[in-house]
Amino acid sequence: MIKNNIVKRDKSEYGDFQTPFELARKICRWLKEQGIEPQVLVEPTCGCGNFILAALETFPSIQYVYGIEIYKPYINETEKKLEPFVKNRNINIKIIQDDVFHFQFSDIAKKHQSKLILVLGNPPWVTNSGLSVKESGNLPTKSNLKNVAGIEAITGKGNFDIGESATFSMLKTFAESNGCFAFLIKNIVIKNIIQSQQQFAFPISDLRQIDIDAKKEFNANVDAGLFFARFNETSAVDCCVAESFDQPVIRSFGWTNHKFVADIERYKKCAEFDGVSPEIWRQGLKHDCAAVMELATTENGYKNNQNKTVNIEPDLVYPLLKSSDLKGQVITKTNRNVIVPQTLVGQNTDYLATDFPLTFDYLDKHRELFDKRKSVIYKNKPLFSIFGIGDYSFKPFKVAISGLYKQTQFSLVLPIENKPVMLDDTCYFLGFDSLEEATCVMYCLNQPEIQNLLHSIVFWNAKRVITKDILMRLDYFPILQRIEISKMLEYAERQQLTLTKSIFLQNPSFTFGRQHQEFLWK
Ligand SMILES: C[S@@+](CC[C@H](N)C(=O)[O-])C[C@H]1O[C@@H](n2cnc3c(N)ncnc32)[C@H](O)[C@@H]1O
């Protein structure tokens, strides 16, 4: 339902960032350079009309304009701005107050079948989960989402961008028209649309992402760009990326050989390593109760993050690393600790009261904070339950990487004070029993082949850049087979790692990784 004539409203609920006129003009001029001469202009969420104004100024060919906007004051403002064009150029202009998810855009597509249509604009950049938090009514309804068939399939996890569903809906309606599409959207939405092309195969071609400085233009801390596509033409779905309107293409991303990659040229050079990881990558542990579970080591013993001294048995306290700690190549120190009350997910924790009474009393004193944990995963689970815990968590040597940071270096994590180090759930890791094995794998993962592969498949604008899915694609086994042991040992020496060389040099076989293949060292 349209919240009619609302005078004051929450701008963020409506993703209300009006495009500066200069940027709208720049985009229109760039479109003109691409040979675009539209007869029909469609602006699906036109706001106060800057795109329409810039388009009318740039394209004398425009005969029809359709602007849709939910917010009445903007309709008035747009109509006023466009008055001179109605009078002087006899253009048929309709600025309509409606919801982009209700308006029948298909009527426009049908009516102007033989004309060149330009769908131009900047839809709201908000996610539905952001809106649900605000209990917003500005969401595509379920039935409308059905019209936008498959949006869930694209976005997967039920969290999608309103701009994404608007883009998807416009492509569905107009892809078979004549003309083109130009939307300012988040780059992650462009990626999702291109990724979904394998499934939906809209007849669109000449796909481009032209990056803009969203901080400067909209004061938004997000990677965004102009997404351009020509309708009614089929081609390979690669999307070419340029850093700005006057720069050449810097890379292209899309589907190649049934894999979706971020940099096609770079990927081609290392595609042989895009396979299945010889070992299973694990996410670190999750407890959602940092105030109680995380302890700092101080001169006076453990302190929790309320700065309270915590006097408990040390047995269940393990060193902890977070994403921000995974900086060096070899990690041997941390000031953080975490209480690990279970060795397996779902393990009964009754034993705590008898075996570790101080730990039990401390946790029990804060039971309220555990009960407040929002995630459903903790419902009906043993007291003080944690997740992301298993045999692998207690392996003494780990190779780890942060899921949040824009870096691809793998770190070797060594036991601290004879205890295996835990990682939190922002990190991923492989666990090993021997330093030799862990060092070899860390060395392989940091070789240019795997680093190049990671750089070619990672989309840096995702919220979590490195994921388990990405890591499971890294087949480092061929590198393991090829490494020169002497170089690896030199590297280990530089990192001050004392490896038992005889494992490599005398014992010719070393059971390793995938399908327990016997790997013969050179
Ligand atoms: C990012 S602003 C861009 C406005 C305009 N396209 C421009 O580029 O300047 C998004 C616009 O979408 C409008 N809007 C938000 N939800 C809408 C909906 N469900 N239907 C139609 N317009 C909507 C907002 O009021 C706002 O004017």
257's CB contacts (< 8 A; 6+ apart) are 271
Specify the range with the lowest mean pLDDT, choosing from 8-12, 114-118, 180-184, 281-285. 8-12
Taking all residues of the chain, what is their mean pLDDT, rounded to a whole number? 88
Residues 178, 293: one domain?
no
Residue 508 has pLDDT above 70, yes or no: no
d(CA 198, CA 299): 58
| Tokens, residue 112 | 């102007």
Q: Taking residues 120-135, report their average pLDDT.
A: 69
Asked if residue 58 belongs to a domain, the reply is yes
Position in ligand 1 atom list of the atom nearest CA 47: 27
Residues 163, 305: one domain?
no
Could you give the percent of the chain with pLDDT greater than 70? 88
| Tokens, residue 252 | 């292209």
Asked if residue 465 belongs to a domain, the reply is yes
Position in ligand 1 atom list of the atom nearest CA 99: 20
CA 73–ligand 1 middle distance (angstroms): 12
CA 512–ligand 1 middle distance (angstroms): 56
Asked if residue 483 belongs to a domain, the reply is yes
| pLDDT in the model for residue 272 | 95
Residues 147, 286: one domain?
no
Asked if residue 147 belongs to a domain, the reply is yes
Asked if residue 51 belongs to a domain, the reply is yes
Q: How many folded domains does the chain comprise?
A: 2
Provide Rg for the chain, Cα atoms: 28
Residue span of the structural domain in which 508 resides: 282-520
- For a mutational test of ligand 1's pocket, the pick from 7, 27, 70, i.e. the residue with the most ligand atoms closer than 8 A to its C-beta, is 70
**What digits encode the pLDDT tens for the residues 22-35?**
999 999 999 999 99
- Counted residue by residue, the chain has a size of 522
CA 501–ligand 1 middle distance (angstroms): 65
pLDDT tier, 260 (very low <50, low <70, confident <90, very high otherwise): very high
Atom 15 of ligand 1, residue of closest alpha carbon: 14
Q: Taking residues 318-341, report their average pLDDT.
A: 96
Atom 27 of ligand 1, residue of closest alpha carbon: 47
Pairing relation of β-strands 64-69 and 422-423?
A: unpaired
Residues 480, 350: one domain?
yes
| pLDDT in the model for residue 516 | 34
**What digits encode the pLDDT tens for the residues 340-351?**
999 999 999 999
Asked if residue 272 belongs to a domain, the reply is no
The CA-atom distances, in angstroms, between 379 and each of 283, 329, 374 are 21, 38, 9
Q: Sort 407 into a burial class: Cβ within 10 Å, 0-12 / 13-18 / 19+.
A: middle
CA 227–ligand 1 middle distance (angstroms): 17
| pLDDT in the model for residue 128 | 58
**What digits encode the pLDDT tens for the residues 459-489?**
987 778 899 999 999 999 999 888 888 888 9
Single-letter code of the amino acid located at 59: F
| pLDDT in the model for residue 35 | 97
Q: Is the model more confident about 146 or about 37?
A: 37
| pLDDT in the model for residue 485 | 85
- 149, 183, 217 — which closes off a domain? 183
Q: Taking residues 506-514, report their average pLDDT.
A: 44
pLDDT tier, 12 (very low <50, low <70, confident <90, very high otherwise): low
Atom 16 of ligand 1, residue of closest alpha carbon: 14
Q: Is the model more confident about 512 or about 491?
A: 491
pTM over 0.85: no
CA 124–ligand 1 middle distance (angstroms): 5
Residues 416, 306: one domain?
yes
Pairing relation of β-strands 517-520 and 509-512?
A: antiparallel
| pLDDT in the model for residue 218 | 94
Residues with CB under 6 A from ligand 1: 14-19, 45-47, 50-51, 68-71, 74, 99-101, 121-122, 124, 138
Residues 44, 175: one domain?
yes
Q: If you average pLDDT over each of 85-99, 161-175, 355-369, which comes out highest?
A: 355-369
| pLDDT in the model for residue 160 | 65
CA 110–ligand 1 middle distance (angstroms): 24
Residues 286, 427: one domain?
yes
| pLDDT in the model for residue 243 | 85
Residues 175, 291: one domain?
no
Residues 175, 298: one domain?
no
CA 123–ligand 1 middle distance (angstroms): 5
**What digits encode the pLDDT tens for the residues 410-456?**
999 999 999 999 999 999 999 999 999 999 999 999 999 999 999 99
- 147, 166, 183 — which closes off a domain? 183
Q: Taking residues 99-105, report their average pLDDT.
A: 95
Residues 168, 299: one domain?
no
CATH number, residue 145 = 3.40.50.12420
Asked if residue 137 belongs to a domain, the reply is yes
| pLDDT in the model for residue 117 | 98
- 136, 151, 183 — which closes off a domain? 183
Q: What secondary structure, in 3-state letters, does 442-482 show?
A: HHHHCCHHHHHHHHHHCCCCCCCCCCHHHHCCECCHHHHHH
Could you give the percent of the chain with pLDDT greater than 90? 74
Asked if residue 423 belongs to a domain, the reply is yes
